[in-house]
Amino acid sequence: MAYSGYLIKIGGSNGTPLPFKYIRAESYSCTPDQRMEAEANRALTGVLVRKTVAHTATKIEFETPFLTNSDRAALNTMLQTAMQNTGNKQERKLVIEYYDDETDTYKEGTMYMPDVQYTIYKVDNKNNIITYNPVRYAFIEY
C-alpha cells in the first residue's frame, strides 16, 4: 500500500494517525529495517565478513514545532494511552504503524520511546501558557 496521508499511527494499524501539527516535516526521518550484526570480522585478506541476524529494527525520529503546554499534554496523552495498551508503560513500549519510504508500504512495529527532553521557550504567566522549543521524539523497534 502506497503513502495514504499519514506517517505514523500511534497504537498500530487500528490506532490514531499522529496529526501533522505535531511533526515538523523537515525533521522527520525513518530508518527502516536496520540490519544488526551477530558478528563482524575482517578475514586475513582484509575482507569484511558479516553475519547479520534475520530481525531488523526501524528507527523513527522527528521534532515537533513550538508547542504550548496544552498541545504537549494532548500529544503525551496519546502516547501514554498507547503505552498502557501494550501493558508496559515502564519500558515506554508501544505499537506504531509507520510509512516505510524504502518499500512505499506501511509496516507495524513494537517500539520503545527513549526519554524526551522538554525545553521551555517562553512563559506567559498572564494566560498560563508555556511554549516549548521543538521537542525531539524517537521510536526504536525492539
Q: What is the rounded CA–CA span in Å between residue 122 and residue 105?
A: 40
Amino acid, res. 1:
M
Q: What is the rounded CA–CA span in Å between residue 6 and residue 39?
A: 37
**How do residues 73-108 score in pLDDT, each as one tens digit?**
999 999 999 998 777 778 899 999 999 999 999 999
Sole residue written with cell 523497534: 141
- 52 DSSP 8-state letter: E
Q: What is the rounded CA–CA span in Å between residue 120 and residue 62?
A: 18
**How do residues 10-59 score in pLDDT, each as one tens digit?**
999 999 999 999 999 999 999 987 776 767 778 888 887 777 767 779 99
pLDDT at 123: 98
